[in-house]
Amino acid sequence: MYEQFKVRAEGVGAELHRFRTRGEALGFIRNFLQEDIAGDPQSSAVWAPGPFLDDIDTVRLGREIPGLKFDVSRQTAADAKIGISEMGWALADTGSLVADQSAVEQRLASTLPAIHIALIGTDRVLPDKTAVFSRITPATSRYIAFITGPSRTADIERVLTIGVHGPKRLVIIFVDEMEGVSA
């Protein structure tokens, strides 16, 4: 199913990376942030809370990478170039990510920045919408978001253009052993 997801997600312009451990994934993100924002004092990133960060020393990580913020607010998210958030499921048949984004930080980090880095466990891939609909309860998940590729429009002369209001890049990071320790 992962392979099908990969084909579908890349088919709509998402970028995919897969790592065995959280540590490896963190290493990738660290490099990504350092290359993209660390050199530029105007540039910043926001990282929305989630289990991935559970045993990570965010204070230290924040010091390591200037511009990386774990306080996701309207202002920090609007200013950020990169937003990082975790997703709940991936759907193989459409290449979509699904998350309960009732917490506003999750929405801000995945909506306002130009680049959205989406973290997800490889074991979270489901076949299709039917599978995910049986796992979500709208009464407790008040804002369920499906994200399929970056923001797009074809409203001018039907020319497909990526990145109109939402992220221009969607970078999906799969982690095989999400449960394991990060370091």
Partner 1 sequence: MKSEFKESIEKAVNNANLTGALGKFSEAYKVNRTRAYEGIDFEALRTVIAERKSYAAGHLDQMATDFTRNAEALGARVFRTSDPEKVKEYILKIARDNGVKTVVKSKSMATEEIHLNSYLEKAGIEVGETDLGEWIIQLAGQTPSHMVMPAIHMTKEEVSDLFSKEIHERLTTDIPQLVEVARRELRSKFLAADMGITGGNIAVAETGSIVLVTNEGNARMVTTLPKIHIALVGIEKFVEKFADVVPVLDALPRSATAQLLTSYVSIITGPAPNTDGSTKELHIILMDNRRTEMAADPKFKQALQCIRCGSCLNVCPVFRLVGGHVFGKIYTGGIGTILTAWFDELKKSEEIQGLCIQCGNCKEICPAKIDIPELIMEIRRRLVQKEGLPTLQKAIYSVVNNRRLFHGMLRAASIAGKPFASGKFLRHLPLFLADLTDGRSLPAIAAEPFRDRFKKIKQSKCTEKAVFYAGCLIDFAYPEMGEALVKILNKAGIEVVFPEEQTCCGAPARYSGAYEVAAKNAVDNIKALLSEEVQHVISACPTCTVALSHEFISTFESLGQTEWLPKAKELAEKTVDFSTLVKKLVDEGRLTLKEGKKLGKITYHDSCHLKRTLRVSAEPRELLQKAGFELAEMFECDSCCGMGGSYSIKLPEISAPILQRKLQNIKATGAPVVAMDCPGCVMQIRGGIDQDGADIRVRHTVELLAEQLEG
What are the distances in angstroms from CA 77 to CA 31, 44, 82, 84? 20, 9, 8, 10
Nearer to partner 1, 31 or 73 (CB): 73
Q: Which is nearer to partner 1, 68 or 91 (CB)?
A: 91
Spatial separation of the C-alpha atoms in residues 12 and 162, rounded to whole Å: 10
Task: Return contacts of 93-96, CB within 8 angstroms, 24+ apart.
Answer: 93/4, 93/8, 93/127, 93/128, 93/129, 94/8, 94/128, 94/129, 94/148, 95/5, 95/6, 95/7, 95/8, 95/9, 95/10, 95/11, 95/12, 95/14, 95/148, 95/149, 96/9, 96/146, 96/147, 96/148
Residues lying near partner 1 in the complex (CB under 8 A) are found at 8, 12, 73-74, 78, 93-96, 102-104, 107-108, 111-112, 129-130, 133-134, 138-139, 141-159, 161, 163-167
- Which lies closer to partner 1 via its Cβ, residue 8 or residue 22? 8
Q: How far is the CB of 27 from partner 1 (least distance, A)?
A: 29
Minimal distance in Å, beta carbon 183 to partner 1?
A: 33
Identify which of residues 141 and 182 has a Cβ nearer to partner 1 in the complex: 141
- The least distance separating partner 1 from the CB of residue 33, rounded to whole angstroms, comes to 22
Output the smallest distance, CB 103 to partner 1, in A: 7
Residue 106 Cβ, how far from partner 1 at the closest point, in Å? Answer: 10
**Regarding beta strands 169-177 and 115-121, do their DSSP bridges make them parallel or antiparallel, or are they unpaired?**
parallel
DSSP label of 8: H
Which lies closer to partner 1 via its Cβ, residue 44 or residue 94?
94
